[in-house]
Amino acid sequence: MRVTFTVNGRRTEADDVWEGESLLYVLRERLGLPGSKNACEQGECGSCTVYLDGATVCACLVAAGQAQGRDVRTVEGLAAGERLAPVQQAFLDAGAVQCGFCTPGLLVQAHALLAATPRPSDADIREALSGNLCRCTGYEKIMDAVRLAAGRRAGAETDPAGAEGAS
């Protein structure tokens, strides 16, 4: 089947899509968008998180045919051209990009959190990122990055090394 949908603002077609093919497979293998990672293929780790019509989903759990006529935004679509989204820059500045495998899903989920809750508490951040697993180490630098992005959005930069969560 042919699937026509919008990806990162561009109308896109994928031909010869098998009924059981995941959106993640189509994004990565057919459309050449490797940002969303294929880790567990069970919706457990969040590495493949993308927006589907503005809501975050695990792309590994969405059949590609379900994207027909819909809007998909991947981690590649967060940046404005060559300029990183504030949350992407905050992850770099806070040292939250470790091996990088979980980072795309965390970025999309953190982006969604900050869009809905511009000044999240630490509990808000933990809850929002609870479906995204990082196996490298702890989550403190990730928390710092989200706090930093929130602080920058609010106009007051927050020190990621010693900041308390914005509330």
Q: Name the residue type at position 131.
A: G
By CB atoms closer than 10 A (0-12, 13-18, 19+), residue 123 is exposed
Give the model confidence (pLDDT) of 13-22 as tens digits: 999 999 899 9
Predicted structure pTM score:
0.90
Question: Which parts of the chain have pLDDT scores under 70?
Answer: 156-167
- Alpha-carbon span 42 to 81, nearest angstrom: 32
The one-character DSSP state at 64 is: G
Q: Report how far apart, in Å, the C-alpha atoms of 94 and of each of 81, 90, 142 are.
A: 22, 6, 8
**Do the strands 71-73 and 49-52 form a parallel or antiparallel pair, or are they unpaired?**
antiparallel
Q: What's the pLDDT score for residue 161? A: 44
